[in-house]
Structure 1
Amino acid sequence: MSRDNARRGLLVRALIALGVLVASAFLLLTTDPRLGLDLRGGTQIVLEAKGDADAADRSMEVLRRRVDALGVAEPVIARSGENRIVIELPGVQDPQEAVKVLGQTAQLTVQRNGQTVMTGEGISDAQSTRNSQGAGFVVNIQFQGDAPAKWQKVTGEAACEPSGSPGRQIAFVLDGKPISSPEVSLDTPCGAGQAGGSTTITGRFSQPEAKELALVIRSGALPVPVEVIEQRTVGATLGAEAIEASAKAAIIGIALTSLFLMFAYRLAGFLAVVALAGYAGVAYAGLLAVGATLTLPGLAGFVLAIGMAVDANVLIFERAREEYARKPNLRRASENGFRGALSAIADSNVTTLLAAGLLFWLATGPVRGFGVTLTIGVLASMFSALVLSRVLVVWALGTRFVTKRPRLSGLHTLGFVRQRLSVVLYRRPSLWLISAGAVVLVAIAGLFARGLNLGVEFTGGRMLDFTAGGTVDSGRVRTALADAGFSDVVVSSSGNEVSLRTAPIDDATSARLGEVVSSAVDGGARQSSNELIGPSLSSELRRNAIIGLAIAVTAQLGYLAVRFDWRLGVATVAALLSDVLVLVGVFAWMGKTADGVFLAALLTVIGYSVNDSVVVFDRLRELRGSRLKASYPDVVSDAVVQTVPRTVNTGLGVLFVLSALLVLGDGSLANFAIALLIGLVAGTASTVVTAAPIAIWLESRWPRRAVAKKRPVGARA
């Protein structure tokens, strides 16, 4: 590439980077983030309509009127799939009243003598108003369609009955229970009935009573029954603590990662830190641009993506070091470093995007937000590394001041590890596989010895979390619950937090459990979250988790078979499966809860595991093409050794962030960090002890014929 073309390309990338940064800054200054209920506090209710999509649409409109009538600020009601309706009620900490109103799911009917004369679909409106002819309030009802004629007929028949007799009453019935049974007024003509398409219910109602009756009559006519299949309640205090913990983890993680990058790569590392700051702004602006809801797992995903964004820069800098070792020209080495690392960056990010896409498709609630955050984070990291970092590094390393001082760049040497590490790893690859198999067997033993502690997302039931003023004695809580008749409740505690897991129970029983826990803890306890998962949703989540893992494995295998070779694809998937088994087994041994957040961590580990193997196999493909007659195990060994700096440096970047999340977070946030730390170690090790040895074994059983490209006549090696 000529110098003019190189400068033109650099200018174009600089303008693109500037445009993206300006647009991001505008969004950051003008757009407020949309926080999920697990961060701002409130209640989420998921209803399932027992009918087709059209019935669900009509049900949603009825429920929308009910929600609006509750007077909750900024409620959200949306369709999820064909027949599910998600309702978010910010600030609602006691959802019992809301569930009571929303859960009145049967059709409103108008009955006389136990016989239905019309349904609620014939009612167009119902409003409470002060009684102009007496004390109290009344409810005015408007009819529509053929309902006025039906009302006139039934009131005409009822007017012929004597006053005080049951036949003179007309009942408004909901859920099989009469909500009002007014008697037809004495001034209604027998046989003629009440004409005009409206009526008034009197009865000396108080204002709240009349308002509630009007609400139920007006919005009570659901076309089909609906069932509450999921309910989550999170205290606002817990959400504020989660935001604070995530923010601190991000700051500490970025600070430690920045110091490490500058220590390892000097000026290039400093420029990468600047690009990393740009990445954080662009990623957050991307979330604002698409209107994504920030959830607790989503925040964790955002923090995690900061650590993973380091990977692309490390790949580029290590490649640039190799280029500089061949020919000491900083500008050209940095340009070639970006070009040479593009393939590995693209492949590794595609595998992560596959996992993020599965999370968005299969997950529900806050975990889906993690998939969105991770996707935007991966795309933003590619922009940061391939555009923003490239502009800064190529420009700075091309200046005369840095050119005369190559040691300042940080790319003047292959580094301590590459210069001193020279070892042949795979003289006996079977030993590596035996050791890997032993670790996997120990992990699997945990599933049989202790079993996996599944969360309510997968088992169904209710999960209650409480925060006390001091350390919680779980034995004392269990005794108190058993004395109160709740001996089957599963109790777990950590520090000043205690969690209860039960079979599906109603809100009244849930409130009673809270009273028992508060009485058993010194200083009392406040409820921080309340989650209900119905049996139908839990079975669906279990099915989706299995489908998600199967699709993840198949998708990774297919992609790698196309990009590399089926042998390397099988080796990578084998390492991936071992990582999954190790993570699940370790969680079983530790007694940790495998919930929806754990599923998010598991799919992320799959992406990270494949990411690590892709980098090694990308180098293997390159070395194999230039060393056709060399021993395949030796080539694999060299590929692993040459990518050690990338593995270590990237792993440290992610480790800093996850450690900060683990120390500062608690509950599901800490479990998320633990799962990813286990996956980080397992994914890094499995590439060396599982993927590479299996690739060697497959190559020995089904060798591939390597054909060298013919050089043009007169070309020199």
Structure 2
Amino acid sequence: MLHFSRWKTTIIWFIVLLGVVFAMPNILTQRQLDALPSWLPSQPMTLGLDLQGGSYILLEVDRASLVAARLNSVRDDVRLQLRTANIGYTALTETGQVVEFRLRDPAQSAATREALRTLTEPVSGGLLTGGSVVETNLEEPQPGVFRLSLTEQGINYRLSTAVAQSIEVVRRRVDELGTTEPIIQRQGMDRIMVQVPGLQDPARLKALLNQTAQLTFRLVDTQNSAQAVAAGQQPAPAGSELLYSTDNPPQPFLVQRQIMVSGENLTDAQTSFDQQTNEAVVSIRFDARGAQRFGAVTQQNVGRPFAIVLDNQVLSAPNIREPILGGQAQISGNFTVQSANDLSVLLRAGALPANLNIMEERTVGPGLGADSVAAGQNAGIIGAIFVVVFMLAAYGFLGLIANVALFFNVVLLVALLSWLGATLTLPGIAGIVLTMGMAVDSNVLIYERILEERKAGRSVIQSIDAGFHKAFGTIMDANITSLIAAAVLFFLGSGPVRGFAVTLALGILTTLFTAITLTRWLVAYWVKVRRPKEVKRGFFTFVNKTTRIPFMAMRRVAFALTIALSLASIAGLAGMGLNYGIDFTGGTVIEARSKAPEADLAQIRSSLSNIIEGEVQVQEFGSARDVLIRFGSQPADLETPQTSINAVRGALQADYDFERVEVVGPSVSGELAVAAVLGVVGAMLGIMIYVWVRFEWQFAVGAIVSTAHDVIMTIGFLVITQAEFNLTSIAAILTIVGYSLNDTIVVFDRMRENLRKYKKMPIDTLIDLSLNETLNRTIMTGVTMILALAALYFFGGDVIRNFVAPMIVGVLVGVYSSVFIAGPMLIYFKLRPEKADMVEAAQANTAKEA
């Protein structure tokens, strides 16, 4: 395995060179990037919102408003079709998802069915739904009474269409803000994810997204009194409805339901100023059809008030002084320049087909993002220094080779993230640091094998060759189990969790390349040039090779301790419970920074006590100026999303800057909780199947039991510390699952090898032998992981600390379970040497007969 042909060497270093070229833009300034030739890569990694600031908003199309709008449309169509066919009717009503009316003459039933036939004809469902869709069903429950009901299939079709239309409208609105590289994607049947990095004013974005911007021009009903209808002295007449203006206080207007001109006929909208009052107004221009209709209406109704209605609010209702025939008009309404600009943006982008509710919001200020970048960089550098120094001290020159391979490993990982356009989040930085620990583990496996083979009497070259050969399968098995966990994280996670999963998965791939190929080439080159007489270890070792610790003799005590701690963890979970974050409970988390030298926690509690229902947690976070505010989902938000956060902003924004805002609705939190449980179970099931295929079922059971133990212990730690349990905690647990299996697989691989080698050795003795042979590697890997994670914990900042703490506990518990849980399970499930003896006897008999 130490021979490399010229073309293999060329390919290896060509890949490394490509990695350097694609990673280079990440350390260049923008001026240097602009000066690069066009054929060179110039795209650095994309930073996530938690690293550069910005807003993440999950929108949901309001099904109720969509159904209501569709029902109004059906009602208007019924009225138009019956009037056109000269069919008399009465009692036209709409309730739920049904429009019902009664014929004046039941003998016209057949003519009514024919007139309404177009409403019940199937429409093309398009590529998404396929086939055709019937949107309404027509029934005649009794003679002369007709009922049109909306079908679920039709509503779903309209919902899917509304999402597709809304995505384009949202994209146009976001583009008008001048932001760079926004991400707008469909999620599921009725949701839209909007991610706008670097946005300085998330409140303005929400205001733009929260309006449907349905602009209509309608005549004011001057025959009836709007004040009388508003006071309840008389009902609104047929054909008219009561609306209110945007003034403070709002004024009632009685406007006709008939839309004379709609916003669909607009071609442009721009902010301008009224020449007489110098107030900000919105100048609009109609297309040919809209100009014709607008001119006709204004020509026929000179002297009457003409209401300009936006989302069922009257912006203004000026009197028509003269016909407006040029296709241009002005909208006035006590606008500021900013509000006039926003209205222009909404009108240019077009109207949304339905209301969009904000189900989840995560906003990070640019200052906090810069702090996170600095903290992540410091943690990464310090973690790298820890690992590099440790490897040099433990393995000497071989440690130096491992560090060179580790450097190129990180370079290749950064290059892949840049090339794929993947988003680097703060947990993603944790993934890079974790990759360094896992990369070192592969080198430790190889080096320990080399030293072991040398001690067994092989020559230096034979030892090195055998070390790489025997470690290959173990490295593959260990990393594939971690890759399974990363895949589950990606498909079931969201946001930063996905970023961590991508980084972890790519890190596993680069680790396999550097450990199996690049490290082997470097060692082979060293052997070829220097021709060493000995493979020397570094300055220390944790375990002497002659160690024979009787682990299996202690298994009953270890099992008793494990059962006691596991039961205590489960009891604590049932009694105390986890400190669930808003990802699972719904609610709001705000990180604010005082404009004064010190935050006043008591004043914040007092200000929010009359706004927020239930407990409001207010605590200092980091410095004396920083404060963390938490509160649960509010009843007001169920009716009007974002009501509570808007009220909190209004109460605190004079004295505090909002650095980070996370809002998760109760429906989203329930979905995230289900996805989290499925993620853990799915990862463990996938790994168990892989281990079963690669080894035997006893090994698979042992691996899952030991991994379940690690998860339970980690959850027990979270219960005791009451650290916040959120989506990143699930990522930490799944990483623990991957690492624990990684460690267990290494031990199992040695046991499988010894089962073939010592066929008559009792199983408990064989397990002790295997554990002692791999003990130094187990400790070495655990130490490197702890060093990398400790750097993240102490230098990575407050945000990432809760993510790393359970991982540190999981690594320590994983080392314990690999020794005292996984091994004994093979004894309890009867992986005994008698089976091997029978195989050996059968082979001997076969040899004699031959």
Shorter-chain TM-score bucket reads 0.7 to 0.9
1:191 equivalent in structure 2: none
CA distance in 1, matches of 2:555, 2:607: 57
Taking the TM superposition and a 5 Å limit, the aligned residue runs for 1:483-632 are 488-496=615-623, 497-504=626-633, 509-510=644-645, 513=648, 526-632=657-763
Instruction: Quote how far apart the aligned CAs of 1:100 are.
Output: 1.0
Which residue identity does 1:587 align to in structure 2? L
Separation (CA, whole Å) in 1 of partners of 2:603 and 2:771: 53
1:178 positional shift: 2.9
Secondary structure of 2:702 counterpart = helix
- Please state how far the C-alpha of 1:352 moved relative to its aligned partner: 0.7
Residues 689 and 239 of structure 1: CA distance in aligned 2, closer, same or farther (over 3 Å): same
Alpha-carbon distance between aligned partners in 2 of 1:154 and 1:525, rounded to the nearest angstrom: 48
State the Cα distance separating 1:463 from its structure 2 match: 0.7
Alpha-carbon spacing, 1:702–1:200, altered in 2? closer, same or farther (3 Å): farther
Aligned pairs for 1:83-98 within 5 A? 83-98=190-205
Q: Aligned partners of 1:203 and 1:483: how far apart in 2? A: 36
8 Å Cα contact 1:478/1:487 also seen in 2: no
3-state SS of paired residue (1:463): strand
1:105 to 212, 215, 228: 212
**Unmatched segments (≥5 aa) in structure 2:** 25-41, 63-157, 220-254
Looking at structure 1, the residues matched to 826 and 694 of structure 2 have their Cα atoms a distance apart, in angstroms, of 15
Of stretches 314-323 and 414-423 in structure 1, the one that deviates more from structure 2 is 414-423
Aligned to 1:219: 349
Relative to 1, partners in 2 of residues 1:702 and 1:438: Cα closer, same or farther, differing over 3 Å?
farther
Once residues 118 and 329 of structure 1 are traced to their aligned partners in structure 2, the CA distance between those partners, rounded to angstroms, is 94
* Cα-to-partner distance string for 1:461-499 (whole Å, 9 max, x where unaligned): 111123568897967865675487666212344553532
- 2-side partners of 1:710 and 1:109: how far apart? 90
Per the normalisation by structure 1, the TM-score is: 0.87
Which range moved further: 118-127 or 316-325? Answer: 118-127
Q: Shift in Å at residue 445 of structure 1?
A: 2.8
1:707 is aligned with what amino acid? V
Distance in 2 between the 1:206 and 1:514 partners? 20
Please tell me whether residue 318 in structure 1 is matched to residue 448 in structure 2.
yes
In structure 2, the residue matched to 1:78 is 185
Task: Tell me if the contact between 2:308 and 2:331 (Cα under 8 Å) persists in the aligned partners.
Answer: no
Report the equivalent of 1:427: 553
Provide closer, same or farther for how the CA distance between residues 14 and 179 of structure 1 changes in structure 2, counting only shifts above 3 A: farther
Which residue in the other structure is 1:36 paired with?
Answer: 48
Answer whether contact 2:56 2:196 (CA < 8 A) is retained.
Answer: yes
Over 3 Å counting, the alpha-carbon distance change for 1:376 and 1:81 in structure 2 is: farther
Q: Name the CA distance, whole Å, in 1 between partners of 2:522 and 2:492.
A: 39
Q: Secondary structure at the match of 1:31?
A: coil
Cα deviation, residue 326, structure 1: 2.7
Contact 2:358/2:642 (8 A) holds in 1:
no
Q: Which residue of 1 aligns with 2:283?
A: 139
- Mapped to 2, the partners of 1:672 and 1:260 lie a distance apart of 24
CA offsets, 1:410-469, max 9 Å, x none? 39x996624231122213633322111112122223223421011111111111123568
Structure of higher RCO (CA pairs closer than 8 Å, 6+ residues apart): 1
- Among residues 578, 591, 596, which one is paired with 1:465 in the alignment? 591
**Mapping 1:399-438, distance limit 5 Å:** 399=529, 401-404=530-533, 406-407=534-535, 409-410=536-537, 417-427=543-553, 429-438=555-564
- The Cα RMSD (Å) is 3.3
Return the alpha-carbon distance in structure 2 between the equivalents of residues 372 and 125 of structure 1.
43
Q: Residue 663 of structure 1: CA displacement?
A: 0.9
- Aligned residue type for 1:20: I
CA-CA distance at 1:388 after TM superposition: 0.9
Please say if 1:687 is aligned against 2:829: no
Matched to 1:115, the amino acid is R
Q: Is the 8 A contact 1:122 1:143 kept in 2?
A: no
Q: Report SS of the residue matched to 1:403.
A: coil
Point out the more displaced range, 202-211 or 81-90.
202-211
Distance 1:123 1:566, change over 3 A: farther
1:265 paired with 2:395, answer: yes
* Matching of residues 653-692 of structure 1 within 5 Å: 653-692=784-823
Distance apart, 1:323 and its partner CA = 1.9
CA 1:426–1:212: 2 relative to 1, 3 Å: closer
Deviates more, 1:94-103 or 1:678-687: 94-103
Residue in 1 that maps onto 2:839: 707
CA distance in 2, matches of 1:199, 1:343: 75
Conservation of the 8 A alpha-carbon contact between 1:436 and 1:686: no
In 2 relative to 1, CA 704–710 (structure 1 residues): closer, same or farther, beyond 3 Å?
closer
Judging changes above 3 Å, is the alpha-carbon distance between structure 1 residues 450 and 683 closer, same or farther for their aligned structure 2 residues? same
Residue from 200, 220, 233 that aligns with 2:329: 200
Closer, same or farther: CA 592–471 of 1 in aligned 2, 3 Å? farther
Equivalences for residues 7-406 of structure 1 within 5 A: 7-9=3-5, 11-29=6-24, 30-50=42-62, 52-105=159-212, 107-112=214-219, 113-117=255-259, 122-128=264-270, 130=272, 137-143=281-287, 148=290, 152=292, 156=296, 159-161=299-301, 163=303, 165-166=304-305, 169-174=306-311, 176-181=312-317, 183-184=319-320, 186-187=322-323, 198-201=327-330, 203=332, 208=338, 210-399=340-529, 401-404=530-533, 406=534
TM superposition shift of 1:93:
4.4
Report the CA distance shift for 1:61/1:630 in structure 2 as closer, same or farther (over 3 A).
same
Counterparts of 2:316 and 2:610, CA distance in 1: 41
The alpha-carbon distance between structure 1 residues 679 and 154, as it changes in their structure 2 partners (threshold 3 A), is same
State the 1:108 CA deviation. Answer: 4.5
Contact 2:591 2:629 (C-alpha < 8 Å) held by counterparts: yes
Tell whether the 8 Å contact from 1:312 to 1:345 is kept in structure 2 after alignment. yes
Q: Which amino acid aligns with 1:424?
A: P
Report if aligned partners of 2:435, 2:504 keep a CA contact under 8 Å in 1.
yes
Deviation sequence 1:64-117 (CA, Å, 0-9, x none) = 111122233443333344543222333434422221111113754554433143
Q: Distance in 1 between matches of 2:653 and 2:309?
A: 41
| Counterpart for residue 145 of structure 2 | none
Shift of 1:526: 4.6
Report percent identity of matched pairs.
32
Amino acid at match of 2:371: E
Report the Cα distance in structure 2 between the residues aligned to 1:380 and 1:366, rounded to whole angstroms. Answer: 21
CA contact (8 A) 1:77 1:87 kept: yes
Q: CA deviation at 1:160?
A: 3.6
1:667 Cα deviation after fit: 2.4
Kept in 2: contact 1:107–1:224 (CA 8 A): no
In the aligned structure 2, how far is the partner of 1:111 from the partner of 1:593? 53
Cα-to-partner distance string for 1:213-237 (whole Å, 9 max, x where unaligned)? 3322232411233221111111222
Any idea what SS the aligned residue of 1:334 has? helix
Q: 1:130 to 1:158 in 2, by over 3 A?
A: closer
Larger radius of gyration: 2
Q: What does the per-residue CA deviation read over 1:510-530, in whole Å, with 9 as the maximum and x for residues that have no partner?
A: 4664687799xxxx7653311
Asked whether the 8 Å contact 1:172–1:179 carries over to 2, the reply is yes
**1:321-376, Cα deviation, whole Å (9 max, x unpaired):** 12222333222211221111111111111111111111111111122111111111
Measured after TM superposition, the shift of residue 625 of structure 1 is 1.1
Separation in structure 2 between the aligned mates of residue 472 and residue 160 of structure 1, nearest angstrom? 62
Deviation at 1:206, TM superposition (A): 7.0
Once residues 458 and 8 of structure 2 are traced to their aligned partners in structure 1, the CA distance between those partners, rounded to angstroms, is 25
Q: Is the 8 A contact 1:322 1:414 kept in 2?
A: no
Structure 1 contact 324–333 (Cα < 8 Å) conserved:
yes
After the TM superposition, which of the residue ranges 357-366 and 507-516 deviates more from structure 2? 507-516
